[in-house]
Amino acid sequence: MTTQEIANKWKEYCTTGRWDLAQSELYSDDAVSIEMEGAEGFPARVEGREAIVAKGQQWNSMVQEFHGVEIEGPIVAGDHFSATMNMDITMKGQERKKDSEIAVFRVKDGKIVQEQFFYPV
């Protein structure tokens, strides 16, 4: 798949709440995930699809209710794509809120090899 095809499929999966399918189908086995410096509860970097899946499961365990997500983009440039994710979410023990972040991905050999997130901490 091209970077544009992967980006479009990633958006489709994430918009419909199928994060797990995005990770299992679109990510390489040795993909890397990078969080914002200072993000609480998550390591700054994890390596490998299994570690990325585990990080996603950890995040899911912190969610009380996921009300939806709007994704702007993706914007493709060469072997990278980015998107803005606007999530309506209630985390356990917190008020309902809207969170926004920018996600940047790098694609190699038809798979996502790196993801990096930017958001207020």
CATH of the domain at 87: 3.10.450.50
Q: Could you tell me what percent of the chain has a pLDDT over 70?
A: 100
Domain count along the chain:
1
d(CA 34, CA 12): 22
pLDDT average, residue stretch 101-114 = 97
105 compared with 56, residue with greater pLDDT: 105
Residue 60 pLDDT level (bands cut at 50, 70, 90): confident
Distance from the first to the final alpha carbon of the chain? 34
Using the predicted structure, report yes or no on whether residue 8 has a pLDDT greater than 90. Answer: yes
- Domain residue limits at 67: 3-118
Residue 80 pLDDT level (bands cut at 50, 70, 90): very high
pLDDT average, residue stretch 9-25 = 91
pLDDT average, residue stretch 14-38 = 91
Classify residue 112 by burial, with Cβ atoms within 10 Å: 0-12, 13-18, 19+: buried
pLDDT average, residue stretch 3-15 = 95
